[in-house]
Amino acid sequence: MKIKPEQLSSSLTDGLNQLYFVFGAEPLLIEQSLNQIKLAAKTHGFDDRVSFEIDGNFDWNQVIFELTSPSLFSPKRIIECRLTTGKIGLKGSKALTEIAGSVAKDILLIVSTGKLDLNQQKSKWVKTLEKNGAIIQHWEVKSENIIGWIKNHMTALGLESNTDVAQNIAACTQGNLSASMQEIQKLQMAYPDGKIDTKSYLEQENQQSKYSIYGLIDAALLGNSEQTLKIYDTLKNDSGLPIYLSISLHREITLIIKMAIELLGKSKQIDAVLQENHIWNTKKPAITNALKRLPYQQLQKILLLLGRIDRSIKGLDNLNVIDEFRRLLLNLSGENRCLV
């Protein structure tokens, strides 16, 4: 049977299934569900746990041996199978199908993996898991829902629900749930009574974020070329910068181009377009500035240059990545330098 993630807690209160399969696009959410299941299992006497990391070459006899061998420590055991991929091959599919169909009463079988495509979800082993146990699927948290997700988790940890703080966390972590959760936990330690000094927190975070990739991109979008170069020169020697900057710039520029097209094709105001694209309040000034300053054709040229920079990072082109990022950022900030 299928259980929605938000229904898992009440389902576990009602009773424990013999088999759980947790999968989806968000690793943090998967881990949260797995922890809920294990905690509930402990209250039912499942004190022993054996875990397997399983790839396409895994020997499933190890799991079968564990299932059929008596425990030395506890009569009730959790057997956990963490699939590194949904592509477990014919042998894996056959083994997991047989295992799922004959789980002993003193065994709790927990299977987990990442995102599965539609064909994988229709496979025999998945259907067998659903028939004999409970399936919990986690969907990706969309950008328009991330602030609500952050606020809910703040409340769950005893913090006051604060939209400004949640928006700042979302902007700084760019929707990465694990990073967002870390920021929420830092807040919990900083404000144990749950009452957040919003002004102090935002001032501190804004100061720290100025010299980050996101501060760099915001400076460029705001048209501040001097600040852009200052931040870039501070960050350029970081070996991880090219990859992360390329990913972040591509996301921002692609979104801005989308909104620029919407402004060209329809008689809409910028505020309406920002609202429809779920732009967070903290990002609105920078993106609004870029939409007003940068013509659609220039944005396309910037995106083309970014494509060549990305290929050069991967060794498929021969641009000087550090110099070309500088040129791209200056164009984004308003200094008209030839991109072709």
Tell me the per-residue pLDDT of 97-113, one tens digit each, with 9 for 90 and over: 988 888 888 889 999 99
Residue 168 has pLDDT above 70, yes or no: yes
pLDDT digits (tens, 9 = 90+) for 110-155: 999 999 888 888 889 999 999 999 999 998 888 778 889 999 999 9
Q: Is residue 339 part of a domain?
A: no
Number of compact structural domains in the chain: 3
- Choose the final residue of a domain: 209, 228, 252: 209
- Choose the final residue of a domain: 138, 165, 198: 138
Question: In degrees rounded to 5, what are phi and psi of residue 83?
Answer: -85, 125
Same domain, yes or no, for 190 and 223?
no
| Four-point Cα dihedral 175, 181, 184, 185, nearest 10 | -160
Neighbours of 57 (CB within 10 A): 9
Same domain, yes or no, for 279 and 228?
yes
| Full residue range of the structural domain in which residue 111 is found | 5-138
Q: Is residue 311 part of a domain?
A: yes
SS3 264: helix
Q: For residue 246, what are its two tokens? A: 């390329």
Q: Is residue 340 part of a domain?
A: no
Same domain, yes or no, for 152 and 194?
yes
Long-range contacts, 207-212 (Cβ 8 Å, 24+): 209/172, 211/235, 212/172
Residue 239: CATH number of its domain:
1.20.272.10
CA 295 from chain center: how many Å?
32
Spell out the residues 6+ positions from residue 111 whose beta carbon is closer than 8 angstroms to its own. 19, 20, 21, 22, 80, 81, 83, 96, 100, 129
Same domain, yes or no, for 10 and 127?
yes
Same domain, yes or no, for 221 and 305?
yes
Same domain, yes or no, for 297 and 235?
yes
Same domain, yes or no, for 235 and 317?
yes
Between the two ends of the chain, the Cα-to-Cα distance in Å is: 57
- Choose the final residue of a domain: 138, 173, 201: 138
Residue 267 has pLDDT above 80, yes or no: no
Please state, in angstroms and rounded to a whole number, the distance separating the CA atoms of residues 163 and 161: 7
Q: For residue 322, what are its two tokens? A: 């550090």
> Three-class SS string for 57-90?
CCCCHHHHHHHHCCCCCCCCEEEEEEECCCCCHH
Same domain, yes or no, for 160 and 241?
no
Same domain, yes or no, for 116 and 12?
yes
Q: Is residue 338 part of a domain?
A: no
Residue for token digits 């919003």?
A: 198
Same domain, yes or no, for 20 and 128?
yes
Q: What is the pLDDT of residue 288?
A: 94
Q: Is residue 105 part of a domain?
A: yes
- Sign, CA dihedral 67-70-71-76, equals positive
Q: What is the pLDDT of residue 155?
A: 92
Q: Is residue 241 part of a domain?
A: yes
Question: In degrees rounded to 5, what are phi and psi of residue 213?
Answer: -60, -40
Q: Is residue 220 part of a domain?
A: yes
Same domain, yes or no, for 148 and 249?
no
Q: What is the pLDDT of residue 337?
A: 58
Same domain, yes or no, for 197 and 247?
no
Ranges 65-74, 250-259, 269-278: which has the least confidence: 65-74
Average model confidence (pLDDT) for the chain?
87
Residue 147: CATH number of its domain:
1.10.8.60
Ranges 28-42, 197-211, 218-232, 290-304: which has the least confidence: 197-211
pLDDT digits (tens, 9 = 90+) for 234-256: 888 888 889 889 988 998 999 99
Question: In degrees rounded to 5, what are phi and psi of residue 262?
Answer: -65, -35
Residue 10: CATH number of its domain:
3.40.50.300
Q: Is residue 175 part of a domain?
A: yes
